[in-house]
Structure 1
């Protein structure tokens, strides 16, 4: 069966931005779906019963979002942070604070299972350490960067191929592997590498070198690392997320850095209607699945 892929174009992002700007504060909208591939389901305030997700659908605090087999989702938050999910994943946005006048934001997300990528926005850089990602056994404090991770069976699949990690008895429900991917040359927060702080129990370990990772086999087990993740392990995680290094760079450049529609809205203190690109100005591509 062929893939069912739905993407949002640069022009459609303008309409999406205008729609989000008009939402009442009570809706607690934090962003919208920017790319939906195959089987993605979610709950929303408008439709509290689980249903198939669609592009431009609003994402609010507390919404449950799931991806099925061979599926992927990309969410664009109001502060231009991007959160991507691979197959068989589940997340929920627990916290979102955004001050467009100060261009500062903070995000809190829970990942119950599967694979994820968190790509920080410029606004998030203004509040370093205030954003976090929670897995069943770890809390990841984000200091402006690109973080990837796997939870549950996906984490064990990668860990078993990493030297020295395969001997640990991991929990297929809670095991967590977290990788500091680090921003590329087009990172919207500049070229500052950023960092993450991973907390398990009463122990916090900083990860400050891109390409390094930590592994938590399960509840009640100690954190292992940081360690330099192998190329094979890094590639496996990228495959699970459905992206390559080139595609990650394209997301940074096209969706975040050089999309005039997004820039006009998300960086406009007055929240005015975004301007459209001139006819002679090529529109950037949609997010790459």
Structure 2
């Protein structure tokens, strides 16, 4: 049939061919991972942070993501494991003296075969942090060094700041794809360990007695009640004299002294009456006259 406005189909439209795997330029991947923020895709600018999977971010981009999860469209695939800034580590990077922003920009925009100067280097081996050498960082202090330098200096203290670390604190920056699964498992195990330690610390704090801000432990409540019950009248009421401390010997001495004084007083009264009887006058009947009567007869 002709003259109907139809077209002859091509072979590509009739035969389905196997889709070819798209391979990215490894140099482009390297530049994207080591020179650009994994979240915002902008050039890395200090302050720079890294997560437990070794990805590099601009700190401002992570903060913006935490404030608004929809700020970046592919954030759920890149950093869904970041829930706070505690899930990242601020890196202590050593600047490269040979770095120049103008030269780096021209090389990035031009051909990729030209050597691009990295912005940071290893403080020990002076190797550039450009993706051609493996680098690691310590999540205890954030210091970054080349992996080869770590192997050549077998120490459990950071060679840069001297802070101690364990093997689990060494994180590879931008690891290979086959290393990611192991790093994810290590990240989950470390989070579970930290959560268990926090729970145990909280339980131990709840079991401790109450204390004030100065650190002095407050007395139990029953002792407080006992203290108030001892003085119900209040602080202004005078206390009663406690006589329970007086010994029985002291009381006996006082009582004997009082009895002696009474005996002497009684003896004086008897003596005075006897003296009066001698000098007193008698009446006709022989009775002693009283003082008034004696005066009358005198």
TM over 0.5: no
The TM-score, its normalising length taken from structure 1, stands at 0.24
Structure holding more strand per residue: 1
The TM-score, its normalising length taken from structure 2, stands at 0.23
Higher relative contact order (CA 8 A, sep 6+): 1
